[in-house]
Structures are given as structure tokens and as C-alpha cells.
Structure 1
């Protein structure tokens, strides 16, 4: 309460003046009571907005749901007084982003809620936030952090049903870590006796199906459990079929596909692959459609193979575009909500100030209007010319960028696409060998297209810079190349200016692209160090290429060298030796 009063003292005093002009008796009102009124006055509007958002979410109108959730978030001020609503809304937003595959944005939403969990009146909200964080980490294969947050949620959970849910999730992580004995130890007691949800009987059945699903997959991975695996998976499937929930059906079909793949039953393997794909289409989940299509392509041996391959490529491309648009739209919604609030507060303040000004400075009105008019006209003229100039520069830059990307696409993909189409015409794709070659070539085209897209993406220079740099470097890792990165997290990137960050990012990106052309290394080590107020980046590998290759590489890296020199940095080439190749970059802090 005290902090609320301090942050809004100016507005409070102005409001008091207005109230005095209407009713003199309000002077005797208790201030704490007024503050308490303000802290709860938004409860009803927040409730209505959340209900509207939840309704849209149920009908899979995710963009509109996020819009209304964020309108409700704006009303949660101060956040301490609305901690329950604030945590709940962020958990719902994170759930939508998680379902669409945008795990980093989902994590960002959840992290905002963490400082306010201690102000919530219900432990349930903390448990939801921790569980969602765990699910995010699980989705990006960070199993250690996933287990950490599930353990936090387990300590907070009160009901036995919630605890059973969390234990089931922990079992699924052990399954992913191939710790089958630990997973079975947790899941078997849950499978023997259903844990009842006292608020919803159907949830009891659905949760039991999850336990059987994960237990069946564990049995499938260990020897001498063929019958136990099939019994568990079939029982789980029966429960899900009764629920008529297509989204839940996807996982069960996937599990039975894996079962019949392992025990070599092509007919049933194909049946469950197709059933899973149909369920994914009905649930409007593009990510699961792509996964299910890959299983259908693997199981398909008939004339429909080409149709599924074309559908797979189309969905892959559309996923990249839609995620980028969703991310931009999510950021725009947050910005617009904050902007609306700021503008509304500014309008209220201006109105009060104008009324007071009329009483005190009647003789200065004419001069004020002249100054305001002159300033407004000058501003409009300035804005007009700056906008005109900006549009011209933007159009020129856009044309150059589009032309460069077009030339690169033509140079790197046209020949490859022509070759794969020719291969498809001249070979029987029903043969396993040809099918594998064809899919491999499609993946190569997809990877090249994604790399070109990444080369032209904007670079995050905020707190996400380190994770973005890691992600870019890891993209160059292949089955034949083991890439180790040391010391990247020891650098305090927030103290380095944006220009140097961009040069380091683009320089390393271009360097790795050139190394792929001339390098046959199987092991690469990239080290980041701080030495004498300089960032030193050292690259070393076990390449067996000749000195001549080094000269060619040095010529191709001229652009990288020029970038580094603009920051007074240096690049040093070492000779190829029996132990490989080494190069270092130095940037002053």
C-alpha cells in the first residue's frame, strides 16, 4: 500500500483538488481506504477481459486471446495488489505461446511473474508458473532445469491429484533421459491406483491415460516387456477415445506407431501414423502435423508418397513464416497496450493541468496559443520532411536487400531444386533408397533456405544476445562435426555496445560459412576470453587441409577482417599444422 501511494503521489494530490471542488466533506476520508479502493477497482474489468480471452483461447483464436489477456495485464497496476490476476494471466499467455512452439517467448512471459509469486494468496498460481516453466525447458531439451522446476512445483502442490500430475511429468523427463528404471519406479505406483480429481471426474481418467502412455513407452524401451507395453498403450488409447479429444489422440497414435515399428508390423504402423496425422489436422496443430507427416512418409509405400512429401515441405515453410509473424504480432500487442495506457494517463493529466491553468493564467492564454500553434506547425513540417526522407531511404534499402537475397536464392537453390526435380522424375520414389536420397535433398534445400533467412534476420542486442549467438553457432554443428563453445557465458555482453555485438555475430556467422567450404574438421573448439580489457575469440580445429586452403580461406574472409578493423580489432591466422588450424579475433571492450 505504501509503495502504491508513493508512486502515484502526484496523481493523488491532483485528484484531491478535484474532489474538494465537488464535495468538501471528502477531506475527512481516510487515505488508506482510498488507496485500498484504487487497488481493487480494476478487479471486475480484469475478470471480464480474462473471461473474454479464455473464450477465444478455447476456439483457438490465439492472437485475439493474447490481445485481451494483455489488456487485462495493463490493468494489473500496481502488480503487488493484483498478484493473483497477474500470475494467472501470464500463465495463460505462456500456455498459448507454448502450444504454438514459441518456447522462448513463453519463458519470457513466465519470468515476469516470478517476482510477484510471493504476493499471491494462493500457492496454486506459483505451482502453475513453475509447471509451465518446467514444460518449456522440457520442450527445448533442457531436462535438468525441467526437473528443477517440477520439484519446486511438487513442494508447493497441495492436492494429491496435483502431486500425481507433477510426478507423471517427472517420469516423462526420465523417459526422455533414457532413465527407464527411474521412470518406471515413479509411474507404476500411479498406474496401479488412479489418483482422483475431486473437482472433475473426467480429469481422473485423462490423467490416468497419461500415466499409462508414459509407462507404455518405458516398457517399449526395455527388453522383455512387449505385452506390458501394448497393454498400457491400448488402455491409454481407450480412455482418450472416450474423451473424443483429437489433440490428446496425437500422442497415443505416435506411441502405437513406435510400438508397431519396433515389432515390425507395417500395416498397423502405417495405420497409426495416418490416424495421428488426421488427429493433428483436426486439432489445428501445425507442429504436430509436421511430426505426424514425417511418420506417414516413413510408413508410406504407395502412390500417395509424393502428395505427403509436398504437404510436408509446405507446412515446414509456413511454420517458419507464421512463427515470425506471431512473434512480431505479440510484441506489437504488448506495445499497443502500454501505449494506450500511457496516452490515457497523459490525457487525464493534461485535462487537469489545463483547468488549473485557466484559473491562474488567463492573461497568458493568447501567448500560449501562439507558441503552441507555432510549435505544432514547425513539428508537422519537420515530421513531414523527415518521414519523406525516411521512406525514400527505406525503399532504397529494401530494394537492395531484396535484390541481394534474390540473387543468393537463385545462386544457391535453383540448381539444387532442378536436380531434385529431375531425380524425382527419373527414379522410383517407392524404393527405400531413392526415398531416403529424395528426403535428404529436401532437408538440404530447407536448411539452405533457413540459413539464408537467418543471415538476413535482425540481431537481438538486448539480454537475449548470448542465447541468440549460441543458437547461431549451434546451427553449424552436424553429425560429422562436434562443435564445443567455452566461456561465452563469462562475457558480460550487456556492457558491450550494440555495434560490436552485431560485428561479432555477423563476423562469426560469415567465418563459419566459409569454414564449411574449405574445412574437413570433425572437432571445432570456440573459446571466449577477457584479456587486458579485450575480448579474445579463439577458433581451433583438427583439420588436415593444406597451406593453400588457408590462403583461399584468408582471401574469402576479407569481409570479416574489414568488419573487425572498424572496431579497432585484429584477426590472426596461424599456419595449418599436424594438429589442425587456429585463428583468433580480438576486440577492445
Structure 2
């Protein structure tokens, strides 16, 4: 039988344990309620900036701050709500990869959401991101997942519409047309002039591509509706379709009329991407003088859009990074506090801890010794390999490009002229001299005293009758203050780009812009060639060499291209 004193002691211990447990639960409940209030306050502020003030930067900041207060496993609803709007804002600023990453972070918690509209939002924003990055199969996958959810009728129709739009992009007009025709019969669609006019426009476009004369009547009906509600962005799209329609009919007057109307309406709606598309169409169908003028406007607008979106990407990335950093620092402070309390409570184990630290330190020293020894041996092997490959790299990087440059010189110059013949002989003599001395690793380079002239001469060698080559800002750079290594890298990189352009791109227009700001030199290369798909691009040969050269001078290389939409490279390096 248990003694009475022990029974009393056990009862009091259980009572104290229950008391402290209740106290802890009350503290946790109070803390959670305070946290929920703060989250709702931040979301409300973010919603105001997003909906009322149209200030997406501030909205992104407060959505992100609210997100950091959420515990996704316990509060998935608010977490997914914030992440969705952050992804929307990133997408609107052209940061499609950042938007995909933000949306994907919600996947572990979607199953906890009862309201399927939240899940529909995530799938839809992912579908749009993959659509804008030309990954159409993945876009259809997410729109299909959105379609099968139990949501509002308008949401289902929107997902269905988006799938049909992708079929248009895939040139599957016979699959897209019946979908749009079925949508056009929906009462909820007919009651909304903007949505109904867009559907009519898509039907007209499908008929036009299928060579059905009914196309024109649908375009006209769409324009009539859009004019009634002043839907400028939609008018821009229909006018662009009509410009294409009459281009196919070989009616240049109507082509330019509707192309300019498209450009004007996209300008009014502040749709920069489609405005740029309309301007490109105008430039391609204008006379030579007007085409050059429109091309310069296109390049300037394209550059400004690129800079604005790059700033937005950097800003959103910084906001997410700063919030993560703040959260990590708070965790570190909490960990430090716990660590100090443990040190006070376990002072008697200080000596043991010291011995453990000494043993760990000795182990670390031994590990570092063997690690550094192995790494030194690997570096020796790598140095031998690099020494062996240096000569072959020089053959490709410099001699091959110089030979191709000489071939371009022969194509573009009259060799009956003594001056041109002399220049060609000088180039060939230079190539011959370097071939003789390349084993001595003593390859000469251009005259850095006349660097600007040498660079101009090299670029002008590619300005043949089939290529219109524009150079802007070359004379504004302080080349004399830039060291020889950087000038060499710039010369070879531009030469590599021009050689690749002439070999592969079928470009007819090339623009190279030089700028210097805050001791940073920026070189923008743009051509209207066939481009490449950056999602499938592998840096090989020329592009790989350019990347290595720019990184060697502590610079940055950014490549922007889409298949069939030209090729653009931004080079930045400290002057």
C-alpha cells in the first residue's frame, strides 16, 4: 500500500503540472491571437496598396511581411493568399521565374485549404507564367488542374479559355475554335462586354488562320463592343489581328492603318509588351527611312522595359531576402539566449566542454591538413590541363574569329582598292605571325593606343549589304582609362557575337549600344535574328567563351532571347 505522504506529494506534483500546462496554453493562445491580428493588419494594408493605390512595390512588401508571420502548417489560408499576390505582382513585372518559385512554395500546404478558389489562383498564376515563358504543355497542365476544381463557373470558363489561347499559340486553330464558340454561347460571358468581345476576337482570329471569310465579321463585331466600353487594350489586339489579316491579303495601306491603330491603343492602355510588338510590326512593314526611325524607337523602348523589369526583379528579390534575413537573425537571438541559459545552468560541465572543443579543434586541423593537401594535388592536375588546353582555346577564340573577320572583310570591301588590299594583307600577316608564335604563348593583340579605331574597324567589317549595323555611344566611353585586359575581353566578346550572328542568326538588323554610368560600362547587343530558346540554351563554344571572358574581368553577362524573336546580350563590367 502506498504511504499517505507519497500520495499527497504525487497529487500536489500533478496539480502543479496541470497548472503550468494551463499557463503555457494560455500564453500560447494569447501569442497566437496577437500574431493573427498582426497578419490580418498587414494583409489589409497590402490589399489597399494593391487594389486602391495600384502601388505594387508597397503591396509586395506588406504581403511578404505578413507571410513571414504565418506558420503555413497552422495557417495555410493566409500564407497561400499572400504568396499568390506576391506571385501575381512578380508576374506583372515580368519576373516569371521568380513568380513560379513563389507559387511553388505553396504546394506543400494546398491540401490543407478547403476553399478551392485559393488553389485555383495558384494553378492559374503558374499557367500564365509557363505561357509567358513559352512552356505551353506545362501551362496546359496547370490550367487543366484549375479547370477540374470545384469553383465558380466564371473560373472554369477562364481556365477553358486559357487552354484555347495556348492552342492558338501552338497553331492548333481547329482545336481552339470549338472551345471559343462554346464559350461565346455562355450567358455569363455575353453579359460582360469585355470578355465577350475578347472571345469574338479569338473566334475571328481562328477563322482567319483557317482561311474562313467569316473572320472579318467577328473582328468587326469585336471592335464595335470594345469601342462601346472604351476597352483600349482589347482594341489594340483586334487591330493587330486585322493588320495581320490585311498583310496576308497584301493590302499595305490597311496593314499600316491597323498596325498604327494597334500601337496607339496599346499606348493608351499602357501595355508595353504588346505596344512593342505592334511597333516591331510597323517597322517591318515601313519604308527604309521610316523603318530605321521605328527601329530606333523599338530599341529604346525595349531597353527601357528591360531596365525597369530588371530593377523590379532585384527589388522583389531584396525584399524577400531582407525579410528572411530578419527572421534568421531573430532565430539566432533566441538560440543565443537559450545557449546562455544553458551555460549558467551547467557551469560544472565547462571543463568537459573545453576538452571537447580542443579535441574538435585538433580534429579540424588534421582534416584541414589532408583536405588542403588533396586540393593542392588536384589544383596541380587542373593547372596542367589548363596549360594544355590554352593553346587550343586561343586557336578558336582569336585566330578562328580573326580569320572569319578577314573573310567578312573580303565580302564587304572592294579588293581592287590598294588600301583595302593592304589592310587585308596586314590582317593575314598578323594571323601568320601569331600562328608561328602561339606555342610560345606570346600572341599579340590589337593596338591599344588606337583601341577605339580598331574596335570600330572590326565592327564595320560585318556591315555588309544584307546587314544593317547600328553603333551608338562608342565614343562616350573613356577607353584610355580602361586596362588592356578588359579592352581585350570586350573586343573578343563583340567579335564573337558578330561572328555567331553572321553564322547562325540570319539577322538583318544589329544594334550595339555603349554606356558608362557610375564607373560601370554597359554594352547592349541586339539583333532581329531567329534567336534561341533560353530555357533550352546550353552555353557552348562562342557563348561559353564570352561568358568566361566577361567573368574573368569581374563582369556580368545576361542573355535574353526567344525563338523567332531576336537575340539580346547585356555585358556589364567595372571600368
Band of TM-score, shorter chain: 0.5 to 0.7
- In the other structure, the counterpart of 1:499 is none
1:49, CA displacement in angstroms?
2.9
The alignment status of 1:287 with 2:353, answered yes or no, reads no
- Cα distance 1:412–1:149, how it changes in 2: closer, same or farther (>3 A)? farther
TM-score by length of 1: 0.55
Give the unaligned 5+ runs of structure 2: 1-15, 348-449, 470-501, 516-520, 553-575
- In the other structure, the counterpart of 2:153 is 160
Distance 1:320 1:346 in 2: 38
Match 2:64 to one of 70, 93, 112: 70
TM-score by length of 2: 0.56
Equivalence map 1:400-479=2 (5 Å): 416=459, 443-445=509-511
After superposition, the C-alpha distances for 1:499-548 in whole angstroms (9 at most, x for unaligned) are xxxxxx6xx3547669xxxxxxxxxxxxxxxxxxxxxxxxxxxxxxxxxx
1:98, CA displacement in angstroms?
1.9
Distance 1:484 1:132 in 2: 19
After superposition, the C-alpha distances for 1:193-236 in whole angstroms (9 at most, x for unaligned) are 33359xxx6xx33322332222221111002x22x222222333
Give the unaligned 5+ runs of structure 1: 1-19, 362-406, 426-436, 450-454, 458-474, 489-504, 515-556, 563-589
CA RMSD of aligned residues (A): 4.9
Q: Is the 8 A contact 2:246 2:252 kept in 1?
A: yes
Secondary structure of residue in 2 paired with 1:195: helix
Distance 2:37 2:310 in 1: 34
Q: Is the 8 A contact 2:100 2:126 kept in 1?
A: yes
- Cα distance 1:70–1:485, how it changes in 2: closer, same or farther (>3 A)? closer
- In the other structure, the counterpart of 2:315 is 329
Distance 2:303 2:174 in 1: 40
Structure number with greater Rg is 2
After superposition, the C-alpha distances for 1:269-295 in whole angstroms (9 at most, x for unaligned) are 323322322333334343233212112
Q: Is the 8 A contact 1:213 1:236 kept in 2?
A: yes
- In the other structure, the counterpart of 2:123 is 130
1:252, CA displacement in angstroms?
2.8
Q: Is the 8 A contact 1:413 1:445 kept in 2?
A: no
- In the other structure, the counterpart of 1:320 is 306
Q: Is the 8 A contact 2:223 2:238 kept in 1?
A: yes
1:139, CA displacement in angstroms?
1.4
- In the other structure, the counterpart of 2:49 is 56
Distance 2:44 2:268 in 1: 25
- In the other structure, the counterpart of 2:225 is 239
The alignment status of 1:182 with 2:175, answered yes or no, reads yes
Q: Is the 8 A contact 2:198 2:234 kept in 1?
A: no
After superposition, the C-alpha distances for 1:290-344 in whole angstroms (9 at most, x for unaligned) are 2121122234449755443221111222333333332222221111112233445
The alignment status of 1:272 with 2:258, answered yes or no, reads yes
Q: Is the 8 A contact 1:293 1:312 kept in 2?
A: yes
Distance 1:25 1:159 in 2: 48
Q: Is the 8 A contact 2:507 2:529 kept in 1?
A: no
1:168, CA displacement in angstroms?
0.9
The alignment status of 1:144 with 2:210, answered yes or no, reads no
- In the other structure, the counterpart of 1:89 is 82
Paired residue total = 390
1:57, CA displacement in angstroms?
3.6
1:152, CA displacement in angstroms?
0.6
Q: Is the 8 A contact 2:507 2:527 kept in 1?
A: no
1:93, CA displacement in angstroms?
1.9
1:183, CA displacement in angstroms?
0.9
- In the other structure, the counterpart of 1:308 is 294
After superposition, the C-alpha distances for 1:29-52 in whole angstroms (9 at most, x for unaligned) are 375565455445433433333343
Distance 1:326 1:409 in 2: 35
1:420, CA displacement in angstroms?
6.8
